């Protein structure tokens, strides 16, 4: 029984069957990658997990509880945090403020009318936000405008924001898309470190095979809205079906 | 007081300006050619601070969350009606009137906000506009028994006023604060200068200072930070486990209560209400004030409200003959030419001037007067050999 | 039955005006992605084109009429329009009488020019700015435009009559077999409705059957892709803005005999037209037209005495009420497309 259990999930957009019949089980404290060619339904699946879309059929259970029909913020409070393809941060706020907001969400829940207290008086939140900035190696940038960070730093900040909520499942949607090689490698190292040091399950949707094979412990290959195969990275590499469906298409694969 | 040094200084500056406004706004001696630029008379000073309150409240919604409401005049109007009914039924003391106006406007904005905030962006703007127009139309027509329709409402000699004793015959009811008449004024003459100190103005100014202080606290609170996060990236907020709806609704209700407070104070100063103060152009006016001063900044809305109300008053009063006086030193032809060039923008042309200024601000100075001030300040700083360290800290807007 | 037909007819002329303004609004929104608060001002300027033209046509010079005398016995001075000098009295009178329809020819170039100038001079710079900024700057522009008109034409409504040939009313009652006089409908309102139908049809035909329209529709669906095709979409969008301005202007020209134009008529119509656009669905052309007529007719039904007895004041708020209900139940409006203005 994994921490996330996806059973018979299907989703249609008009005439297009985006997800056929998806079954997926993600075991606790593993790094699980979901790969597949463009249009395979990876993003649709992810959106079904976080409450952005509601599947037409099937069930999604997180830690034994259904996530279907819940709002994104409720699902997040259950312990699923999401990292977006293009970093979604509060660009108009400072780096420190960015980090404090998830800390408030962790401490106070989905809403807290905290209009009279001052921010400096929130010592516990400040302490955990500062700790996370340290962990992310961003303490020196705490006063910067988040919008003026480099792409790699924005990604780091976003991952840090997700981690500071201490989620049990971290979902990453192509976290290295559009990144330079050096930034990509930094992100891989960061994620490796996170999965080793923290009590956390990571599910990652990725295009870049280099990222997938350096991180994942298990891989699900999605094609045309259904899982083709699920296995360890080594066995996936050798699987002829996968090669045909996916790896064969791209020159730079593996 | 829970403020940083900088915010406290700002509050003190505003307080001092309010206290000495009767002097500051009357810089020109009585009877001089420049006396028409004096703004130190009670009626105008009251409106400066009351619309300051209105704009401060609007800024809590628009400046922090980015939700552009085009219906805030409705809350001001509802507050005014609530206040006048308190004066008719209960007492001419302004305290119950003001409290009830805030409460009623708060409830009304809770209802409107609860519905309107289901949508965002332009849809939200149009929903609020629709609600405001509905309130206006109803106040004019069906609700006439409550609103007085076209004639509006004033306290009458015959009203019950259960807390007040009977008025002496023939006396009109006057708004007061425990006996202090809001229209009470003391005039001090210093040489050619005449300064007017009005009780109502100082009551309104004290209320504005409290309102301003509360708004600083909200801006600097975790709640205020969440509101700025709503504006910055609502998606991220929702995926960070925070429900943006109650945050925006709370901001909406708070700003509605500020509007109600302003409405109640308007009645406290000048005891009458008409539905026209709920018309959507009145909602547009508070948007103009906030943007002009600088949305999302603390002092901006106060500046914007002051700027608009001051120039509205001054510019509307200038007429053609005054223009001729000004340009009298020119040769006749040029004088006439200049007068005819300037004439469309003064007097009844005030709205034209306002529209142009507003467009220029939105186009070139989206941060409003505050941003303009900062740019000028930076210009001067750069001239000086800068010894101060470049400080990487992003200052949250003043 | 006759009462119902009468109310439907009564709703048509207002509905036509709503539909025409909303059509332009949604066209601009769909193509340029701009929320234009100054669109009502364009309607108003159109109306004042008619006022201006009728003033130009009646420009006069004084002539001493020897045959008549005033009460002091002096020869009477009378104003003679220059048109009399050119065309003679009968033709001159006819031209003056037909000033409003003739204004259409005058208004089209004026409105297209104003539309171009607005788009190139101002709106263009706001494509990338937030919608709130677009609303604010066009709101400012609307104030400026209406104040300029107020400066030149004053604050009072200016009566601008329809040609005398259309001043009567048509008795639908007699035609449809009800009591004569039960459904009386002014000719000009029939004209207005037919005019609106023609304009709407022309705009749709233009978008449907020309390559220009095809590109614009593609651009409304997906601006970036069309841009990638190397088509100069911006230029076409400028032209679209001109067309939208002309549509609003013509709606204004023809509306003058129904309601004497004043400087704030644009704002009055704008608020309602926005509601119409939202009800119809932002960016949907058929939606705008449908909602325009629907709300116009609904408004006229709500003003029936029998309705007002049960629901006093409903005529004042019906449109807003419908808008609120629609927005809450069908957030995209009656015919809105997915993904437009959803954030």
Report the 3 state secondary structure along B237-296.
HHCCCCCHHHHHHHHHHHHHHHHHHHHHHHHHHCCCECHHHHCHHHHHHHHHHHHHHCCC
Q: Residue C12: what pLDDT? A: 87
Looking at the partner chain, which of B66, B119, B358 has a beta carbon nearest the beta carbon of C140? B358
Position B385 in a domain: no
Position B21 in a domain: no
Position B384 in a domain: no
Q: Does B393 touch chain A (CB under 8 A)?
A: yes
What ranges in chain B are assigned the alpha helix state H? 5-19, 21-24, 42-65, 72-89, 94-116, 121-140, 144-147, 199-220, 222-232, 234-238, 244-269, 280-293, 300-317, 320-326, 332-342, 350-364, 368-383
Number of CB atoms found within 10 A of residue B264's CB: 33
Closest Cα in chain B, distance from residue C268 (Å) = 10
Closest Cα in chain C, distance from residue B67 (Å) = 9
The yes-or-no verdict on residue C225 having pLDDT over 70 is no
Q: Model-level pTM?
A: 0.88
Residues A86-121 as b/e (b if ≥16 CB within 10 A, e otherwise) read ebbbbbbbbbbbbbbbbbbbbebebbbebbeebbee
Q: Tell me the range of B86-100, B316-330, C30-44, C295-309 where mean pLDDT is highest.
A: B86-100
Looking at the partner chain, which of B130, B131, B138 has a beta carbon nearest the beta carbon of C316? B138
| Residues C83, C87, C89, C93, Cα dihedral to 10° | -60
Residues 6+ apart with CB under 8 A from B68: B62, B124, B125, B287, C132, C135, C136
Separation of alpha carbons C256 and C121, rounded Å: 29
Q: Residue C338: what pLDDT? A: 59
Q: What is the pLDDT of residues A181-210, one digit of tens each?
A: 888 898 899 999 999 998 899 999 987 888
> Is the separation of the CB atoms in B355 and C143 below 8 Å?
yes
The yes-or-no verdict on residue B397 having pLDDT over 70 is no
Closest Cα in chain A, distance from residue B230 (Å) = 9
Q: What is the mean pLDDT of residues A223-243?
A: 84
Q: Residue A243: what pLDDT? A: 74
Structural domains of chain A, ranges and CATH numbers in brackets: 1-79+167-254 (3.40.50.300), 90-166 (no CATH)
Q: What is the pLDDT of residues C72-122, one digit of tens each?
A: 777 777 778 888 888 888 888 888 888 888 889 999 999 999 999 999 999
* Cβ separation B221–A106 shorter than 8 A: no
Q: What is the mean pLDDT of residues C247-257?
A: 92
Separation of alpha carbons B105 and B264, rounded Å: 10
Position B134 in a domain: yes
Looking at the partner chain, which of B68, B137, B352 has a beta carbon nearest the beta carbon of C132? B68
Closest Cα in chain C, distance from residue B382 (Å) = 29
Can you tell me which residue has the tokens 């007068």? B339
Interface list for A 165-184 with B (CB within 8 A): 165
Element (H, E) at C320: helix C314-329
Q: Does B29 touch chain C (CB under 8 A)?
A: no
What is the DSSP pairing of strand A169-173 with strand A16-26? unpaired
The yes-or-no verdict on residue B395 having pLDDT over 70 is no
> Is the separation of the CB atoms in A143 and A175 below 8 Å?
no
In this prediction, residue C170 has a pLDDT band, given cuts at 50, 70 and 90, of confident
B-chain CB neighbours of C331 within 8 Å are 118-119, 123
Interface list for B 250-269 with A (CB within 8 A): 250, 254
Q: What is the pLDDT of residues B180-197, one digit of tens each?
A: 888 888 888 888 888 889
Q: Residue B183: what pLDDT? A: 87
Q: Is the dihedral of CA A58, A61, A66, A67 positive or negative?
A: negative
Q: Residue C116: what pLDDT? A: 93
Mean pLDDT of chain B: 88
Query: Chain A: residue nearest B213 by CA?
Result: A116
Mean pLDDT of chain A: 88
Looking at the partner chain, which of B217, B232, B243 has a beta carbon nearest the beta carbon of A110? B243
B-chain CB neighbours of C136 within 8 Å are 68, 287, 291, 358, 362
* Cβ separation A88–B231 shorter than 8 A: no
What ranges in C122-171 are assigned the alpha helix state H? 131-153
The yes-or-no verdict on residue B391 having pLDDT over 70 is no
Separation of alpha carbons B254 and B233, rounded Å: 22
Q: Tell me the range of B169-178, C42-51, C166-175 where mean pLDDT is highest.
A: C42-51
* Cβ separation B222–A114 shorter than 8 A: yes
Looking at the partner chain, which of B142, B280, B291 has a beta carbon nearest the beta carbon of C313? B142
B142: tokens are 């069906």
Entry field: residues in chain C: 343
The yes-or-no verdict on residue A151 having pLDDT over 60 is yes
Position B241 in a domain: yes
Looking at the partner chain, which of A81, A105, A122 has a beta carbon nearest the beta carbon of B242? A105
Identify from A111, A140, A143, A163 which residue to disrupt to test chain B contact, counting B C-beta atoms within 10 A and taking the largest count: A111
Q: Which residues pair with A205 in a beta bridge?
A: A34, A173
Q: What is the pLDDT of residues C308-325, one digit of tens each?
A: 888 777 887 888 888 888
Residues 6+ apart with CB under 8 A from C219: C31, C226, C233, C236, C237
Position B85 in a domain: yes
Q: Residue C207: what pLDDT? A: 86
The yes-or-no verdict on residue A158 having pLDDT over 90 is yes
The number of folded domains in chain B is 1
* Cβ separation B281–C35 shorter than 8 A: no
What ranges in chain A are assigned the alpha helix state H? 42-50, 72-78, 95-108, 123-135, 151-163, 181-197, 209-215, 233-238, 240-245
C-chain CB neighbours of B234 within 8 Å are 343
* Cβ separation C143–B366 shorter than 8 A: no
Q: Which chains touch B (3 or more CB pairs under 8 A)?
A: A, C
Query: Chain A: residue nearest B254 by CA?
Result: A115
Position B46 in a domain: yes
Q: Residue B163: what pLDDT? A: 84
How far, CA to CA in Å, does C33 sit from each of B41, B114, C29, C123, C126?
A: 47, 28, 4, 10, 10
In this prediction, residue C227 has a pLDDT band, given cuts at 50, 70 and 90, of low
Q: What is the mean pLDDT of residues C295-302?
A: 90
Position B352 in a domain: no
Query: Chain C: residue nearest B117 by CA?
Result: C328
Closest Cα in chain B, distance from residue A37 (Å) = 26
Q: Residue C341 — left, alpha, or beta (φ > 0 → left; ψ -120 to 50 → alpha)?
A: left
Q: Which chains touch C (3 or more CB pairs under 8 A)?
A: B
* Cβ separation C313–B356 shorter than 8 A: no
Mean pLDDT of chain C: 84
Q: Look at residues B254, B313, B299, B245 and name the one whose alpha carbon lies nearest to residue B44.
A: B313
Query: Chain B: residue nearest A164 by CA?
Result: B240
Q: Residue A80: what pLDDT? A: 94
* Cβ separation B225–A73 shorter than 8 A: no
The yes-or-no verdict on residue A254 having pLDDT over 90 is no
Domain residue limits at B59: 38-278
Q: Please count the residue pairs, one from chain A and one from chain B, whose beta carbons lie less than 8 angstroms apart.
A: 112
Closest Cα in chain C, distance from residue B315 (Å) = 15
Q: Does B377 touch chain C (CB under 8 A)?
A: no
Chain C residues with a Cβ under 8 Å from any Cβ in chain B: 35, 122, 125, 130-133, 135-137, 139-144, 147-148, 150-151, 267, 271, 274-275, 278, 282, 312-313, 316-317, 320-321, 323-324, 327-328, 331, 341, 343
Instruction: Report percent pLDDT > 90 for chain B.
Output: 48
Q: What is the pLDDT of residues B110-152, one digit of tens each?
A: 999 999 998 888 888 888 988 898 899 889 888 888 898 888 8
| Residues C70, C72, C73, C76, Cα dihedral to 10° | -30
């Amino acid at each position: 029984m994994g921490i996330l259990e996806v059973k018979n999930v299907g989703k249609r957009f008009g005439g297009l069957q985006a997800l056929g019949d998806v079954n997926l089980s993600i075991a606790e404290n593993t790094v699980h990658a979901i790969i597949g060619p463009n249009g395979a339904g990876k993003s649709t699946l992810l959106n079904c997990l976080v409450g952005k879309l509601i599947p037409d059929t099937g069930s999604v259970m997180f830690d034994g509880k259904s996530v279907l029909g819940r709002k994104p913020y409720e699902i997040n409070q259950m312990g699923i945090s999401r990292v977006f393809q293009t970093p979604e941060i509060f660009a108009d706020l400072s780096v420190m403020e960015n980090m404090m907001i998830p800390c408030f969400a962790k401490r106070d829940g989905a809403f807290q009318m905290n209009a009279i207290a001052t921010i400096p008086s929130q010592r516990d939140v400040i302490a955990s936000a500062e700790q996370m900035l340290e962990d992310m190696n961003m303490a020196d940038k705490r006063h910067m405008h988040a919008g003026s960070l480099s792409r790699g730093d924005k990604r780091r900040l976003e991952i840090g924001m997700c981690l500071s909520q201490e989620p049990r499942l971290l979902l990453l949607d192509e976290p290295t898309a559009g990144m330079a090689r050096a930034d990509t490698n930094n992100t891989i190292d960061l994620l490796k470190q996170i999965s080793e040091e923290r009590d956390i399950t990571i599910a990652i949707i990725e295009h870049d095979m280099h990222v997938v094979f350096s991180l994942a412990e298990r891989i699900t290959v999605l094609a045309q809205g259904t899982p083709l195969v699920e296995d360890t990275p080594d066995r996936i590499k050798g699987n002829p079906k996968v090669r045909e469906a996916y790896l064969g298409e791209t020159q730079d694969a593996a | 007081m829970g403020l940083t040094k900088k915010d406290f200084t700002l509050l003190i500056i505003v307080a001092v300006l309010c206290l000495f406004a009767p002097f500051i706004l009357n810089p020109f001696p009585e009877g001089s050619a420049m006396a028409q630029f004096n703004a130190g008379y009670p009626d105008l000073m009251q409106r400066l601070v009351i619309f300051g309150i209105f704009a401060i409240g609007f800024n809590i919604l628009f400046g922090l969350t980015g939700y552009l409401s085009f219906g805030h005049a409705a809350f001001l109007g509802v507050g005014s009606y609530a206040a006048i009914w308190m004066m008719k039924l209960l007492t001419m003391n302004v305290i119950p009137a003001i409290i009830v106006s805030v409460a009623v406007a708060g409830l009304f904005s809770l209802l409107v906000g609860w519905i309107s905030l289901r949508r965002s962006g332009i849809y939200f703007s149009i929903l609020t506009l629709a609600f405001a127009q509905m309130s206006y139309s109803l106040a004019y027509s069906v609700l006439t028994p409550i609103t007085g329709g076209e004639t509006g409402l004033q306290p009458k000699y015959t009203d019950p006023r259960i807390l007040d004793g009977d008025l002496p015959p023939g006396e009109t009811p006057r708004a007061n604060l425990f006996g202090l008449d809001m229209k009470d004024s003391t005039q001090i003459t210093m040489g050619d200068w005449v300064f007017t100190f009005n009780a109502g103005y100082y009551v309104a100014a004290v209320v504005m200072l409290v309102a301003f202080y509360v708004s600083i606290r909200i801006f600097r609170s975790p709640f205020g930070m969440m509101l700025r996060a709503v504006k910055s990236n609502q998606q991220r907020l929702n995926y960070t486990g925070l429900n943006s709806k109650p945050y925006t609704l709370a901001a909406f209700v708070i700003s509605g209560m500020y509007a109600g407070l302003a409405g109640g104070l308007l009645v406290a100063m000048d005891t009458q209400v008409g539905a026209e103060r709920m018309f959507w152009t009145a909602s547009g006016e508070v948007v103009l004030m906030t943007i002009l001063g600088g949305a999302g900044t603390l002092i901006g809305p106060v500046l914007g409200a002051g700027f608009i109300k001051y120039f509205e008053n001054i510019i509307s009063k200038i007429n053609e003959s005054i223009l001729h006086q000004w340009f009298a030193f020119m040769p006749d032809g040029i004088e006439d030419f200049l007068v005819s060039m300037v004439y469309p923008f003064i007097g009844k042309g005030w709205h034209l001037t306002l529209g142009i200024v507003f467009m220029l601000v939105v186009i070139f100075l989206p941060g409003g007067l505050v941003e303009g001030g900062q740019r000028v300040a930076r210009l001067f700083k750069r001239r000086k050999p800068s010894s101060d360290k470049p400080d990487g800290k992003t200052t949250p807007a003043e | 039955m006759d009462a119902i037909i009468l109310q439907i007819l009564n709703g048509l002329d207002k509905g036509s005006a709503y539909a025409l303004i909303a059509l332009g609004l949604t066209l601009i929104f769909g193509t340029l992605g701009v929320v234009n608060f100054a669109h009502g001002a364009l309607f108003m300027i159109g109306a004042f084109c008619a006022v201006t033209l009728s003033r130009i046509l009646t420009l006069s010079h004084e002539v001493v009429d020897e045959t008549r005398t005033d009460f002091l016995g002096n020869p009477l001075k009378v104003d003679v329009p220059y048109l009399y000098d050119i065309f003679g009295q009968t033709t001159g009178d006819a031209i003056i009488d037909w000033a409003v329809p003739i204004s259409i020819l005058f208004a089209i170039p004026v409105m297209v020019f104003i539309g171009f100038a607005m788009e190139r001079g101002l709106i263009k710079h706001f494509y990338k700015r937030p919608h709130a900024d677009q609303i604010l700057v066009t709101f400012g522009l609307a104030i400026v435009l209406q104040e300029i008109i107020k400066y030149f034409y004053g604050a009072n409504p200016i009566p601008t009559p329809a040609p005398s040939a259309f001043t009567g009313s048509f008795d639908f009652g007699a035609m449809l077999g009800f009591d004569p006089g039960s459904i009386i409908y002014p000719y000009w309102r029939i004209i207005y409705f037919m005019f609106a139908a023609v304009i709407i049809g022309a705009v749709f035909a233009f978008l449907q059957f020309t390559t220009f329209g095809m590109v614009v529709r593609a651009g409304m669906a997906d601006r970036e892709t069309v841009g990638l095709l190397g088509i100069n979409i911006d230029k076409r969008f400028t032209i679209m803005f001109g067309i939208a301005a002309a549509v609003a202007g013509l709606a204004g020209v023809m509306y003058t005999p129904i309601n004497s134009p004043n400087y704030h008529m644009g704002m009055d119509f704008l608020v309602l037209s926005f509601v119409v656009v939202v009800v119809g669905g932002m960016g949907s052309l058929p939606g705008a037209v449908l909602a325009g007529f629907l709300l116009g007719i609904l408004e006229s039904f709500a003003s029936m005495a029998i309705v007002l007895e049960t629901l006093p004041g409903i005529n004042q708020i019906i449109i807003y009420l419908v808008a609120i209900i629609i927005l809450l139940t069908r957030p995209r409006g009656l015919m809105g497309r997915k993904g437009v203005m959803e954030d």
